[in-house]
Amino acid sequence: MRFNRMLAFAQILTFAITAITSVPLLVSYLRDVDPMNPIFIHLHVWFGLAFIIVALVKMSERRKLILNQLGLK
């Protein structure tokens, strides 16, 4: 049970950081200028990757439930 809580917390945290770092990147994109601080790019990419990994781990844990809901099992 504790592992599931940790995964849920990691998923929320990584999604939030990815969403927050996307704001300055979007503004820079709309202004057609390079981001002033490249740290936003790195944070966005690495936390986005971490979010994908955590989501895949959670899906693999619950694959029976997912397959049942899709009617594949």
In whole angstroms, give the CA distance from residue 73 to residue 69.
9
What are the 10-residue block averages of pLDDT along the chain, 73 residues in total?
89 97 94 91 96 94 86 81
In this structure, how many other beta carbons lie within 10 angstroms of the beta carbon of residue 16? 12
pTM: 0.82
pLDDT for res 28: 93
Distances (CA, A) of 1 to 5, 25, 49, 58, 61: 7, 37, 24, 13, 12
Dihedral angle computed from the Cα positions of residues 30, 22, 39 and 49, in that order, rounded to the nearest 10 degrees: -130
Q: Which residue has the tokens 């202004």?
A: 31
